[in-house]
């Protein structure tokens, strides 16, 4: 069985003074985030606000200022941060012969394993089953629906127990059932893994229901805090309009539901899974100093 390390509440990831510029154009400046293990932090904002750019900066995929810090002491040594990443899309031809087993082997070992190992096969299937995707192990990647591919990528992203899981609009093109399953799995990860979770999302209803903390950005942090604090802020209303909300509380968190979604300035993209031509470019786990 795969080792599960429940959140201890002490580990955290600090994003300090992240800035990104291209020539004279400032994309992000002075972004500071503090994310605890066992928490889901949602990043929201208008299109072009720099949300995906922030994810790329955290992954160190683009030049940036600032640092990403993680401190975890084991045997007297500071451990490197491990980052799991699920992107919006993955560019794979529909007729590609690569199956899910090959894809995950390429991720884990840097190359496909042409002679299937029973041990590795069982390990991969176990990881897939955690996201209700065990039956997909022999399916061609190009023939996966959007929801199926999402579950495969999530399985890959958490196989090595990352300290930080980054999800860049992972439910784009997924139907409501797929979105419900995705956020239920986020709840599962929050309570059963010692990791911090950051999700970029346009769907304010799901953010309201599942996020522990919310950050609204527009080149810089405009508002941050609980769902209630951010959704009631003037900065939020400037971006998303003067929508009315019903506010209720549960034993877990404050839930805010949009009662006038027709007026919302952010539109959910809902596509039936069987109609989804999914592209994606998966980077997977990344280690940083």
**How far is residue 263 from each of residues 57, 182, 243, 245, 259, measured CA to CA in Å?**
33, 26, 7, 12, 10
Question: Per the domain annotation, does 2 fall within a domain?
Answer: no
Domain assignment of residue 5, yes or no:
no
Strands 65-70 and 12-22: antiparallel
Q: Give domain status of residue 32, yes or no.
A: yes
Round to whole Å and give the CA distance between 172 and 179: 9
Q: Using one digit for the tens of pLDDT, what is the confidence trace for 208-254? A: 999 999 999 999 999 999 999 999 999 999 998 866 544 453 334 43
In a domain, 4, yes or no: no
Question: Does 281 reside within a domain?
Answer: yes
Evaluate whether 152 touches 129 at the Cβ level (below 8 Å): no
pTM to 2 decimals? 0.77
Q: What is the mean pLDDT of the chain?
A: 78
Within-domain flag for 106: yes
- The full length of the chain comes to 289
d(CA 46, CA 8): 34
With beta carbons less than 8 A apart as the criterion, state whether 194 and 207 touch: no
Q: Is residue 6 part of a domain?
A: no
Structural domain that includes position 209: 12-288
Largest CA distance in the chain: 59
Q: What is the CATH number of the domain that holds 153?
A: 3.40.50.300
pLDDT of residue 289: 41
Between these two residues, 162 and 6, which has the higher pLDDT value?
A: 162
CA 10, 11, 16, 19 dihedral sign is negative
Indicate the number of domains in the chain. Answer: 1
pLDDT in tens, 114-169: 677 888 899 999 999 988 899 999 999 989 988 888 889 999 998 888 889 999 98
Instruction: Report yes or no on 200 lying in a domain.
Output: yes
């Amino acid at each position: 069985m795969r080792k599960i390390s429940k959140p201890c509440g002490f580990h955290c990831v600090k994003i300090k003074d992240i800035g990104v510029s291209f020539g004279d154009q400032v994309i992000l400046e002075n972004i500071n985030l503090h994310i605890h293990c066992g928490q889901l932090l949602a990043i929201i904002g208008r299109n072009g606000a720099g949300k995906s750019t922030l994810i790329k900066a955290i992954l160190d995929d683009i030049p940036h200022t600032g640092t990403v810090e993680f401190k975890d002491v084991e045997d007297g040594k500071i451990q490197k941060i491990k980052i799991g990443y699920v992107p919006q899309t993955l560019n794979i031809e529909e007729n590609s012969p690569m199956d899910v087993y090959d894809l995950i082997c390429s991720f884990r070992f840097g190359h496909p394993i042409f002679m299937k190992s029973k041990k590795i096969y069982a390990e991969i299937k176990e990881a897939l089953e955690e996201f209700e995707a065990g039956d997909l192990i022999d399916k061609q990647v190009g023939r996966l629906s959007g929801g199926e591919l999402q579950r495969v990528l999530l399985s890959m992203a958490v196989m090595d127990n990352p300290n930080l899981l980054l999800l860049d609009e992972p439910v784009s093109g997924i139907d409501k059932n797929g979105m419900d399953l995705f956020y239920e799995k986020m709840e599962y990860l929050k309570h059963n893994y010692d990791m911090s979770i950051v999700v970029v999302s346009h769907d304010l209803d799901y953010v309201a229901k599942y996020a522990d903390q919310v950050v609204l950005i527009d080149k810089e942090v405009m508002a941050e805090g609980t769902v209630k604090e951010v959704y009631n802020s003037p900065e939020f209303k400037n971006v998303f309009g003067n929508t009315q909300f019903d506010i209720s509380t549960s034993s877990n968190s404050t839930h805010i539901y949009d009662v006038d979604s027709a007026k919302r300035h952010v539109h959910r993209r809902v596509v039936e899974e069987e109609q989804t031509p999914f592209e994606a470019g998966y980077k997977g786990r990344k280690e940083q100093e």
